[in-house]
Amino acid sequence: MSSVSVSLGQLPMDSWMSHLPRALWDTPLYQLAIPGSHNAITYCLDMSDGSPVDLTQPDMLQKLDKYMKPFIRPFVYKWAITQEYSITQQLDSGVRYCDLRIAHRPNDSSSDLYFYHGVYSTLTVETVLMEISEWLDAHPKEVVILSFSHFLGLSQELHTLLLSTIRNVFTSKLCPKTEALTLRSLWALGYSVIVSYEHNICSCHGDLWPHIPYWWANKCKAEALIQDFEHRKEHGRPGGFFVTGINLTGDLKYICSHPTESLKDLVTSTYPALLSWVMEQTPGSRVGSLNIIAGDFITESQFVPTVVTLNEKLLKWSS
């Protein structure tokens, strides 16, 4: 099949991979356009007074939060939440890459691990991974890329425990490091989970992929973000998986000068410009091509269908 009669953006997003034309079944996943979720597990941040801000936050913010919590905490939440829908809802919407930032809470005597962004999550890592596995049981031909990174407070023992949890939850779904990263080959072998791990421990384990590079522009304006990415594209794409994060960042100056706004306000106001840029992009192996494109509040716009539709350009090349 060298052409597509129905726009790929009109495919059922909960199973878009399994509905891709046969002509794309042998394309390496790192050459497809794949929608991703930046800081995927921030829909369940702990809003209780007993939950501290995470230890990556500036000392000044930690002190202000300690003594002025009722005033400071609403600002933290407004800029820490990047997704509002559960991981199941995000997968149903078409997300196939999840940015997972893992932490052990300070002063926690248990070995439970959580997610974090500004503050810690209420859901444990194991709970969320089990939810993903159950979703994959119902969608066996979809492939999910899980990027474990930004580890905070994890000892070597906790890393070992996390790896054990990953293996126990996903078992035979885990894809080992292999060159045959196409839908056809993964379907044939029954693999549906690719785990990348931002730690040197990954080199010792055949089922852990190395950290996936993430292009982060650290900008609060769409125009500046786009300019940064266009500059990076001139130097060529990485060889394997990589992420272009169209997530904007509100720095302290921006947040203080926009006291009534939230990250969601910033994102929704700039999505039209960002998605216009995304529509101009091309997946594949050529210089300037993109692969995974991750965003915030991914269910609030046509973000996912826009990214999936980019794969039509690969069909035109093969015709």
DSSP code string of 203-241: GG-TT-EEPPPEEE---SSHHHHHHHHHHHHHT---SS-
Question: What per-residue confidence (pLDDT) applies to 5?
Answer: 63
Other CB atoms within 10 Å distance of the CB of residue 272: 11
> DSSP letter string over 55-120?
TTS-HHHHHHHHHSHHHHHHHHHHHH----S-HHHHHHHT--EEEEEEE--TT--S---EEEESEE
**Any catalytic annotation for residue 159?**
no
pLDDT of 3 > 60? The answer is: no
Residue 252 makes CB contacts below 8 A (sequence gap 6+) with none
Has 38 been annotated as catalytic? yes
29-44 pLDDT per residue, tens: 999 999 999 999 999 9
Catalytic one among 38, 199, 205, 235?
A: 38
> Cα 19–137–193 angle (5° rounding)?
75
pTM of the full structure: 0.95
Residue 128 token pair: 């969320």
As a whole number, mean pLDDT of residues 249-263 equals: 83
Read off the pLDDT band of 2 (50, 70, 90). very low
Q: Which of 117, 139, 159, 235 is catalytic?
A: 117
Q: What is the pLDDT of residue 1?
A: 39
Judge whether residue 318 has pLDDT over 80: no
Over the stretch 81-140, which tens digit does the pLDDT of each residue have? Answer: 999 999 999 999 999 999 999 999 999 999 999 999 999 999 999 999 999 999 999 999
Ranking 67-71, 78-82, 86-90 by mean pLDDT, the lowest is 67-71
What is the structure's pLDDT at 24? 97
Any bridge partners for residue 145, and if so which? 97, 194
Give per-residue pLDDT as tens, 155-210. 999 999 999 999 999 999 999 998 679 999 999 999 999 999 999 988 889 999 99
- The pLDDT, as a whole number, for residue 130 is 98
